[in-house]
Amino acid sequence: MRESAIALLLLSGVSTALHGQAATPARLEGRVTPAVAEAVRAIADSVARTGLPVGPLYRKALEGGAKGVPADRIIAAVGTVASQLAQAAKALRSEPVAHDTDAIEAGGYAINAGLSAGQVADLARGNRPPQAVAASLRSAGTLAALGVPPAQAVALVHQWIAAGRSPDQVLLLPQQLQAAMARGASPAQAANGIAHGGQPGASGDHPEPPSHAQDRSHRP
Amino acid sequence: MTDGPGYHPMVQRLLDGELTLRDLPPELRAEGEAALRSILPGPESSAVGFSPWFEQRVMAAIRVRPRPQPRPRTVWGWLTEAREIRLRLRPKLLALGALAGVALLVLTLVSRPTTVAVAGAGAGADSVYVRFVLYAPKVSSVALAGSFNEWDPGRTPLAPAGETGVWTVTLPLPPGQHTYAFVIDGQRWLPDPAAPAVDDGFGHRNSVMTVTATGGHTS
């Protein structure tokens, strides 16, 4: 519901901007039509007022312009990015954790990849620095983008965090998944294999999954 | 002219090689054969011998001559020592090796962004050089556009590797996650087949590249 309100606010901002003829943002000049530039600027202004990062909005507009996407679709896509950022920020702010614009952008990325706002909040739990939160969100988002069911992706990232993996190691978790998929496993099977320590070919760069470490601790 | 001991003039000419035995009249052939036997070595010729004294001197001289001593074997000597090397070319094995090499090259290069080095001159302090590679034969141009270059295909063209159809570019990227796509002939947008992809919001997919301090990774 709150997202709908944000969307309405954004669209009203777009309308105001289109009639107000404000200055075109320099980075959009020549890359999109003046109408799109104005609409994006209006959305960005609204987003900035709520403390959210605006970089992803401009990048999405530039991407749409480069790809030759019609103006209305560029504006809609920018609005979607703004909505995803707002959802991510809300989810992150619901948790008593430190977060920054990178974590919010990572949350928006994870939502775009298929995670729910609840799953974003779930990944943000724990007393961890913003960099670690962002890495978790990006890793889970990429796992979902590769085809792992979001709930399974979140569980796997949690497992790695619990095992004391560094943010870089968590970021590289999808690489192991891709390696397992290259050997014929489905995304879910590959994720399950990693979770249970069954993935072959783990290199020294990627430490053993938690289940291995736990097994070893029980050995004499 | 060979001077024989009172031979007939025709026999003399035989000895000089001007005539053959057949050229001689029958009555002179016996004389001709005898003359030839007297100047040509035959199987009955006795072997040339040396006196025992001469043989002893030669053998004594050989015994007195110092025998060459083998030099101590060194690493350099071992390395520079002449050796006989025999190579047996087996066409089937050669063909298999060549095929394996080509397959390895293609697997390594085709559509596989790879990290080639960690930050150097021209890159930011935390940037990592990442190499993007795409196999795209029979196209005029390939460019890279993504979140790292404001989605501007004009900024990052890929260079062709001869006539192989392989296109590459290396650029510094800051750590983080980047979305990108290849642009073929300035028109066709192609996500990296070797990288995970996410919805781009326009009905297509963008590839995702994760850059850490250890390099770029297509996941």
DSSP secondary structure letters along A128-163: --HHHHHHHHHHHHHHHHHT--HHHHHHHHHHHHHT
Confirm if B24 and B11 have CB atoms less than 8 A apart: yes
Q: Report the chain B residue with the minimal C-alpha distance to residue A178.
A: B219
Q: Tell me the pLDDT of chain B averaged across its residues.
A: 77
CA distance A65 to A70: 8
Lowest mean pLDDT among A163-167, A202-206, B99-103: A202-206
Question: For position B85, what pLDDT does the model report?
Answer: 67
Contact B145, B156 (CB under 8 A): yes
At residue A56, φ and ψ (nearest 5 deg) are: -60, -30
H or E segment to which residue B160 belongs: strand B159-160
Q: Which candidate in B150, B179, B187 is best for mutational testing of the A interface (most A CBs within 10 A)?
A: B150
Q: How far apart are CA A31 and CA A36, in angstroms?
A: 10
Distance from C-alpha of A202 to C-alpha of A109, rounded to nearest angstrom = 27
Average pLDDT over residues A156-173: 91
* Nearest-by-CA chain A residue for B182: A67
Mean pLDDT highest for which of A114-128, B99-113, B176-190? B176-190
Spatial CA neighbour of B111 closest among A30, A193, A182, A23: A182
- Model confidence pTM above 0.90: no
A111/chain B closest Cα distance in angstroms: 11
Question: What span, in angstroms and rounded, lies between the C-alpha atoms of B151 and A44?
Answer: 18
**Is B12 an interface residue toward A (CB < 8 Å)?**
no
Chain A residues closer than 8 Å to B200 by CB = 63, 67, 77
Over residues B123-139, mean pLDDT = 85
With the C-alpha atoms ordered A8, A13, A18, A24, is the resulting torsion angle positive or negative?
negative
Tell me the count of A-B CB pairs closer than 8 A: 84
Number of folded domains that form chain A: 1
Q: ipTM exceeding 0.85?
A: no
Q: Verify whether the Cβ–Cβ distance A66 to B152 is below 8 Å.
A: yes
Cβ separation B196–A63 shorter than 8 A: no
pLDDT at A205: 39
- Report the pLDDT value the prediction gives residue B130, as an integer from 0 to 100: 92
Cβ within 8 Å, pair A69-B202: yes
A144-155 pLDDT per residue, tens = 988 999 999 999
Q: Which helix (H) or strand (E) holds B174?
A: none
Give residue B32's region: left, alpha or beta (phi > 0; psi -120 to 50).
alpha
The residue range of the domain holding A193 is 2-218
In the prediction, which pLDDT does B104 show? 56
Q: At what angle do helices A173-182 and A130-146 cross, to 10 degrees?
A: 20
What is the torsion angle, in degrees rounded to the nearest 10, for the CA atoms of residue A43, residue A49, residue A55 and residue A61?
A: 0
Q: Which residues of B touch A77 (CB under 8 A)?
A: 200-202
How confident is the prediction for chain A on average, in pLDDT? 81
Second CATH level (architecture) for the domain B98-217:
Sandwich (2.60)
Measured between CA atoms, the residue of chain B closest to residue A31 is B152
The B residues from 198 to 217 touching A (CB cutoff 8 Å) are 198-202, 204, 206, 208, 210, 212-214, 217
Q: What are the tens digits of pLDDT across the range A36-93?
A: 999 999 999 999 999 999 999 999 999 999 999 999 999 999 999 999 999 999 999 8
What is the token pair recorded at A77? 């896509």
Which residues lie closer than 8 Å to A151 by C-beta, 6 or more apart?
A: A119
Instruction: Name, in order, each residue with C-beta under 8 angstroms of B124's C-beta and a sequence gap of 6 or more.
Output: B172, B174
Mean pLDDT computed over B95-123:
53
**pLDDT value, residue A47:** 93
Lookup result for tokens 């301090």: B213
Quickly count: other Cβ atoms within 10 Å of residue B39's Cβ. 9
Give the pLDDT of residue B115: 40
Q: Spell out which residues of chain B touch residue A31, defining contact as CB-CB under 8 Å.
A: 150, 152
Question: Taking a C-beta distance cutoff of 8 angstroms, is the pair A121, A91 a contact?
Answer: yes
Q: How far apart are CA B204 and CA B189, in angstroms?
A: 9
Chain B from 85 to 114: CB within 8 A of any A CB: none
Q: Nearest CB to A171: which of B189, B199, B210?
A: B210
